[in-house]
Structure 1
Amino acid sequence: MNRVNLRTYLPSFHGCQEDDAMKYRKLGNTDMEVSYLGFGASSLGSCFRSTNDQEGYDVLEQFLKGGVNFIDTSPWYGHGKSERVLGEAFKAKNIPRQSFYIATKVGRYLPEPSKMFDFSYERTLASVEESLQRLGLTYVDIIQAHDVEFAPSLEVVLEETLPALQKVKDEGKARYIGITGYPLSVLKEIVERSSVKIDTVLTYCRYSMNDTALLEYKDFFTSRGVGIINASPTSMGLLTNRGPPDWHPAALYTPHIVDACKKASEYCIAEQVDISRLALHFSLEQPDCATCLISTASQENAQKNLEVVSDPLNKKERKVLEDVRERFMKSLNNSHWEGFEKTALLKAQESESR
């Protein structure tokens, strides 16, 4: 669908877009046609480096005017900073509410192990109010339970978090309900068991060059009308020349994944091909994922990401992508770090309570 036919397209804001290269896909059974490149606003919370708020405003405007119409954030990102910067940007840049869809989350909050997660009914309701205040909005398009695998039990999510989100939806403060997490089996189980309608699932690093496990679950989600949001095509830095940050779970628990991705990066460098560009194209080309989230607080990087949309891989890059998948990724067999982070969190909570 061309952008000029979207409800989020406003000539007064976007200008003339006759040659727009951005693609748009239906998000499950929602009424949203979302850009297949989405903006993950975690970077605005200084999650990866110290960032300048004003440049964050400019990056948001740059993405929206470049055809992106889907934003994802959370109170966890900078412990409220991402939402605050977005809210300030909406006002500073006079961004019309109609020009974007936005999703935020509940359940994950502070860095201290004992305060990191709270999926209770009361905290969920309070969190939504806090997010709306920071964002300066009266509603969000999707409200999501964040990283549900870290809940004390799935019963808490099913019996407290999701009913609270249904109340939020009934009150008009959110239009749809979603869940997010890394273990795909957990997302599937919640969709199967929930009495509250789940409209979207968001997962990360599960459809990328090193891990395509999402393919094993996509038919289930699409058959239920659940929209699929894919995040982190570079697997949180694994598929970059600089490599993953020290806190990356693969660096901590599954170094063989880091090693394979490092060898792939070195091969791409030798072939004079950008591995991050390959990774983004690879994830964007999965048609069952309505949108693929990328995050940056840099205008230069934002422009590079937008240019990927109108700049397909050339013949050499396609060949290198095939080589990377066959030579370095196939043997990983969708290796992952499921379970390691929760075990570490439980140990940290026990240590903190002593």
Structure 2
Amino acid sequence: MEYRELGRTGYKVSVISFGAWAIGGTWGPVEDSQSMAALHRALELGVNFFDTADVYGDGRSERLLARLRRESHQAFFVATKAGRRLPKQTPEGYSKENLYEWVGRSLKNLETETLDLLQLHCPPRDVYLSDRVFSILDEMKRQGMIRHYGISVETVEEALLGTQYPGVQSVQIIFNMFRLKPAEQFFPLAKARQVGILARVPLASGLLTGKLRPDSQFAPDDHRSFNRHGEAFDKGETFSGVEYETGLQAVEALKKITPPGMTLAQFALRWIAMFPEVTCAIPGAKNPQQAEENVWAGELPPIPSQTMEQVQAIYDRYIRAQVHPLW
């Protein structure tokens, strides 16, 4: 496993890490026993960074990570997020009172006195136009409630706005074969400012596994069923904002250039790791087998430059017009 520096935190984290959204909820049924098996297997294989949020299963995901810490003798980092408990997203909702309440709840769920990394969970754009919220986070850091903080964003513009604050150590942004804009417009600045990048939704909600079909069915509580057009939250969270049928066409093109010895999912994860500005990708896993497949992607050989160019060409042909102007 390769480990990379996360911003200026001093943390060295696994280039393939673990996104814990799926084991919390809104991805269909999942059993805690299988979730714990996936977490343990990832840890055994060298994963040392787990990303979660207070709203994933209303704290379920955080509590599972607390259990992992109790059951394991290995050290690891946990990043959580706050802000999505608001009934409606407004800048005013990110008040001192609310932030302290959310962080206090996460501390309890994670059974710890200090959060390794707290991230604002896709707040409204206007939050970045004032240092008010970031001053509160600085205060929490001085008080020992959090060690470091970062942001999770929907758009490249939000990433650019957020990294103007010196305390921001990381940016979590959707980056995958269907979302190339961050590499073009944000990565150079992140490198210059020594800001870590967490590549979220790395498999485009499962599209980039190559296992979905035109007739694939999703459970009613799976966001791929109820958020296709942004009915519940930003539509870019579901299939990276790509129309399902278009995504399937692009996947068929990607299958034709997948290097020998890789699954499409591993190809997609190894592709992300080819960008040195990225600290880690955070794919989810609901069982040990998925965790293994994800981790092994980080140990595969580099992708040839010609293949990287072919991925760019597929993006330009099928995807760019749909997503580039929006996020």
Aligned counterpart, 2:134: 162
Over 3 Å counting, the alpha-carbon distance change for 1:287 and 1:299 in structure 2 is same
Equivalent residue in structure 2 for 1:67, among 38, 46, 57: 46
Equivalent residue in structure 2 for 1:229, among 176, 185, 198: 198
How far apart are 1:100 and its partner, in Å? 0.6
Instruction: Give the structure, 1 or 2, with the largest relative contact order (CA under 8 Å, sep 6 or more).
Output: 2
Equivalent residue in structure 1 for 2:173, among 190, 195, 203: 203
Compute the TM-score of the two structures, normalised by the length of structure 2.
0.82
Equivalent residue in structure 2 for 1:137, among 93, 109, 112: 112
Count of matched residue positions in the alignment of Structure 1 and Structure 2: 305
How far apart are 1:158 and its partner, in Å? 3.0
CA deviation vs aligned residue, 1:40-80 (integer Å, no higher than 9, x gap): 11122023122111222221121112111111111121121
Equivalent residue in structure 1 for 2:298, among 299, 305, 309: 309
CA deviation vs aligned residue, 1:284-312 (integer Å, no higher than 9, x gap): 21111111111112111111112222333
Aligned counterpart, 1:84: 63
- 2:203/2:269 contact within 8 Å kept: yes
Q: Which amino acid aligns with 1:70?
A: F
How far apart are 1:186 and its partner, in Å? 1.4
Q: Which amino acid aligns with 1:293?
A: I
1:21-100 correspondence to structure 2 within 5 Å:
22-91=1-70, 93-96=71-74, 99-100=75-76
Determine helix, strand or coil for the equivalent of 1:37.
Answer: coil
**Does 306-315 or 71-80 show the bigger shift?**
306-315
Q: Which amino acid aligns with 2:76?
A: F
Over 3 Å counting, the alpha-carbon distance change for 1:213 and 1:49 in structure 2 is same
Query: 2 CA distance for matches of 1:139 and 1:128?
Result: 9
Structure 1 unaligned segments of length 5 or more: list them. Answer: 1-21, 341-354
- 1:221/1:227 contact within 8 Å kept: yes
How far apart are 1:114 and its partner, in Å? 7.3
2:320 matched to 1:333? yes
- 2:128/2:158 contact within 8 Å kept: no
CA deviation vs aligned residue, 1:178-202 (integer Å, no higher than 9, x gap): 111111111211322x3x6211111
Query: 2 CA distance for matches of 1:157 and 1:236?
Result: 33
Over 3 Å counting, the alpha-carbon distance change for 1:209 and 1:255 in structure 2 is closer
Aligned counterpart, 2:95: 120
How far apart are 1:113 and its partner, in Å? 4.8
Over 3 Å counting, the alpha-carbon distance change for 1:113 and 1:307 in structure 2 is same
Structure 2 unaligned segments of length 5 or more: list them. Answer: 214-222, 229-234
- 2:39/2:288 contact within 8 Å kept: no
Over 3 Å counting, the alpha-carbon distance change for 1:114 and 1:282 in structure 2 is closer
Aligned counterpart, 1:10: none
2:143 matched to 1:174? no
Aligned counterpart, 1:102: 78
Determine helix, strand or coil for the equivalent of 2:8.
Answer: coil
CA radius of gyration, larger in? 1
Over 3 Å counting, the alpha-carbon distance change for 1:175 and 1:52 in structure 2 is same
Query: 2 CA distance for matches of 1:55 and 1:36?
Result: 23
Which structure: greater helix fraction?
1
Identity score, percent: 23
> What RMSD in Å do the two structures reach over aligned CA positions?
3.2
**Does 178-187 or 243-252 show the bigger shift?**
243-252
Over 3 Å counting, the alpha-carbon distance change for 1:334 and 1:171 in structure 2 is farther
Query: 2 CA distance for matches of 1:296 and 1:253?
Result: 16
Aligned counterpart, 1:4: none
Query: 2 CA distance for matches of 1:83 and 1:199?
Result: 21
Query: 2 CA distance for matches of 1:83 and 1:319?
Result: 41
Query: 2 CA distance for matches of 1:141 and 1:338?
Result: 34
Query: 1 CA distance for matches of 2:173 and 2:186?
Result: 11
CA deviation vs aligned residue, 1:81-130 (integer Å, no higher than 9, x gap): 11112112322x2344xx111111111126x5579x93221110111111
- 2:271/2:303 contact within 8 Å kept: no
Determine helix, strand or coil for the equivalent of 1:144.
Answer: strand
- 2:201/2:240 contact within 8 Å kept: no
Determine helix, strand or coil for the equivalent of 1:236.
Answer: helix
Over 3 Å counting, the alpha-carbon distance change for 1:199 and 1:252 in structure 2 is closer
CA deviation vs aligned residue, 1:312-333 (integer Å, no higher than 9, x gap): 3788xx877654542x311333
Compute the TM-score of the two structures, normalised by the length of structure 1.
0.76
- 1:45/1:82 contact within 8 Å kept: yes
Query: 2 CA distance for matches of 1:251 and 1:218?
Result: 20
Over 3 Å counting, the alpha-carbon distance change for 1:310 and 1:270 in structure 2 is closer
Determine helix, strand or coil for the equivalent of 1:238.
Answer: helix
Over 3 Å counting, the alpha-carbon distance change for 1:185 and 1:285 in structure 2 is same
